[in-house]
Structure 1
C-alpha cells in the first residue's frame, strides 16, 4: 500500500501544520501497518528524521493526512482484532511489546523489522 501526504496533522496538537521534520506534503510513502480504532485510523510509515540518520523511524500518522496511491496489501499482513482495535501488519509486529523492543534497540526486534520492512517495500 502506498499513500501520498496531502496535509500534515501534528501528532501532538491534532492541528494542521505547514511542516514536520519527519514527513513532507506531496511525497509518497509505503504503509508498513494500519491501526484502526473507533476514533481513528493510523498508518505506520517509515520516516527519516534527518538525512544523516542510519535508519528510518516507523512513525504513526493520522490516515486523514494521506490519499491512497496504491491499495495493494503486502502478503505478510494479517488482521488482528483485540483491545478495541483492528491492526493490519505482519504477525511478528503484533506481539505485545514488539514496538517497545524495537525502539529500545533490541537486536532481534530490529532484525525482524528490517526483514519484514524489506518484504513490504518489495511488494509496494
Structure 2
C-alpha cells in the first residue's frame, strides 16, 4: 500500500503533528495502519529512508496503491482500536526496543519492512 503526502490545508494540530518530517508530493510505502477508536487512522511511514519511521494522520495522505501487504495481520485491542501490521511488530515491547535501537528489534523491523516493500 502506498500514499502520497499532500500537506493538508488545516490548522488541526492532530492532523499536522509531525508532518514537517515529510516531503510534499512524495509517495510513501505504508508500513502499518493503526486505527484508533473514534479517531482518524494513522499510517506508519519511513520519513527518513532507512533510518526511522513514525505514525502520521492518514488525512495528510492520498492513497495511490490499495494493495495490502501479505505480511499484515489484523490485531484488535481492548480499547476498540485495531492495527494492520506484521505479527512480529505486535509483540509486547517491540516498538520500545525499536526506538531504543536494540539490534534484534531493528533486524526484525528491517526484515518485515523488506517483505512489505516487495509486495507494494
Could you state the TM-score of these two structures normalised by the residue count of structure 1? 0.84
Residue 23 of structure 2: aligned partner: 24
Determine which structure has the larger helix proportion and give its number: 2
- Secondary structure, aligned partner of 1:14: helix
Q: CA deviation at 1:95?
A: 1.1
How much has 1:56 moved relative to structure 2?
2.0
Q: Could you tell me which residue of structure 1 aligns to residue 106 of structure 2? A: 110
1:87 aligns with 2:86: no
Give the counterpart of 2:92 among 84, 96, 100. 96
TM value normalised by structure 2: 0.87
CA RMSD of aligned residues (A): 2.3
Distance in 2 between residues matched to 1:83 and 1:45, nearest whole Å: 25
Task: Report if the CA contact (8 A) 1:8-1:25 is conserved.
Answer: no
Equivalenced residues, count:
116
Cα shift readout 1:13-37 (whole Å, capped 9, x = no counterpart): 33659x71x2011110000000001
- What is the CA-CA distance between 1:83 and the residue it aligns to? 3.1
Residue matched to 1:66: 61
Give the deviation of 1:96 after TM superposition: 1.6
Unaligned runs of 5+ in 1: none
Q: Which runs of 4+ in 1 moved over 2 A?
A: 13-17
Unaligned runs of 5+ in 2: none
1:93 and 1:78, CA in 2 relative to 1: closer, same or farther beyond 3 A? Answer: same
